[in-house]
Structure 1
Amino acid sequence: MTPLPGSIDETLALLASARYVGDRALATVLFLSLRMGRPLMLEGEAGVGKTEIAKVLAAALGRRLIRLQCYEGLDVASAVYEWNYAGQMMAIRLAEAGGETDRDRLQEDVFSPRHLVKRPLLQALEPQAGGPPVLLIDELDRTDEAFEAFLLEILSDFQVTVPELGTIAAAAPPIVIITSNRTREIHDALKRRCLYHWIDYPDAERERRIVAEKAPHAASALTRELVAFVQRLRGEDLFKAPGVAETLDWASALTELDAVALDPATVDDTLGVLLKYQDDIARISGSRARAILDAARAEARLEA
């Protein structure tokens, strides 16, 4: 098990060891979260690398990653635990067949831990071979306020209450990363239990480093041009601007097409890799794409 970083610089090095190109502001809040044992809430647009941070932490620290993917209607049975009803019914039938008449003993057997199906939040409270796990609560904004309220006990005391068994507490708190795309506001009561960081789109220099790290087969000239194009594209009036994930997808797609530089035809043909809404594609393709490309090429030449 890799020890937790002892400084901000060590945190930056930890991220870099797992090929995550972070900045000092992120490393600072991540270092504080690890040292203070506080959950870290990351907000930002989709595709800027929030989820990746939890994956990187788990890989770099040698910890198990436990992911709770949030969605509308998420409840305790899916997030924390539920009982194996088929197993319980089998236990009851076997007890009846064996002549068991002690109700207390039967209830104790039916509601024993062996019939408990542990979901991600309960799994995160259990001891792990490599140390406390990394718990990723992904896209919390997709759930409702009732589920947020349920999380308060877990994030405050790292424990959950199972009525039939009592309170189950973590011997050592997990490392908790919560992400939100901010499609709605998260309640203040939950935010107070977390450290907070907003992850914005990277600047051109950092985005080039990310592409060089994650898509190393892209030619350097192509990398400069495509990053400059994406940076300018984010300034357009779009329903959904491309994130870093789309930049990497585009770099990989252009590499598959053996492109060494951008040209108007290739840009128009591959806009669907960057933009996910037809209205955005229709607005950008053609003359607008060529204008953005010309400006991006000029900028890339200056950067060369």
Structure 2
Amino acid sequence: MIRALLPLVIATAIGGCASTPANVGPPDAQARGASQHVVAEGPVGAMPAGTTVVSVLALPQPAGAILGPHSHIPGFTYVLGGVATVAFVDGKTVDVAAGEAVFTPANVVHVHSNERGRGVAIALAALLIGAVVGLVMLSRRGRRWTPLWLVGLITIGAIGVADPTMNDWYFIAVRPENQRGAAMPVPAARRTHESAALADLGAGPFLERLDAFVIEPGGRTMAHRSDGAETLIVTDGRATICVGGAKTTVDRDQALTVQANTPLQLLNMGTAPLGVVRFSVRPRSGHLETLVDSSPC
């Protein structure tokens, strides 16, 4: 499908954002072996009424599956694998690949679907049928190629079990507290994270944003605090997150939310690269990252 972005969507690889301060301060508070880029951001007029939480739902879809049409709170579709298609009521359609995201404004009608997986599913089905027919014909004729054909059939079956036709994506948003633990929208969904109640961020307007980090073994991000809440979602590896002198280990497909104005730093103490997606929500006039005097580790 032709990629078309909504005017309110600002997405993928906006390097060197002005809200990220220079890497200065004491050595243990400086970034080392870490790269960062903006994935997407979007404006939000107001938070939901009452107490709010950050919610991260994982919503895999098999080939041809459709979720919607519906509308809801503002938030991000962030894709972990495959391609997720988001079609909006005004006719615009966005194909979101792995590592990309699209922002959905509040109360905009849209549909989530897995269109790209449909073609792969048809091709696999055709290969499987052809392999079965070929195996039967060779077996009847006693051909010596039958074992090789059987290996091919098993291979196709293994690919089918792995299901490359699925897509897998997060929906990341700020929700009312009363939606905590609500029914999941699709059968295979998983609740990756629901935060503690967020501290009041004021009356708004607000800016929500996704950043992607890759941190090499032994690396770290800059120690900072934010004027808004930050949720750190681990997509690869194992993260060590320092908050107020305490270290918390967060594994893949888990997350941690840090309240506004709380010093934090992200470390990779493992042996493989660490991938993290950060969801942040802050007053539009506020700062995403402000240097702190020392590492919170």
Q: TM-score range by the shorter chain?
A: under 0.3
* TM-score computed with the length of structure 2 as normaliser: 0.26
Structure of larger gyration radius: 1
- Relative to its length, the structure with more helix (as a share) is 1
Bigger RCO (CA 8 Å, 6+ sep)? 2
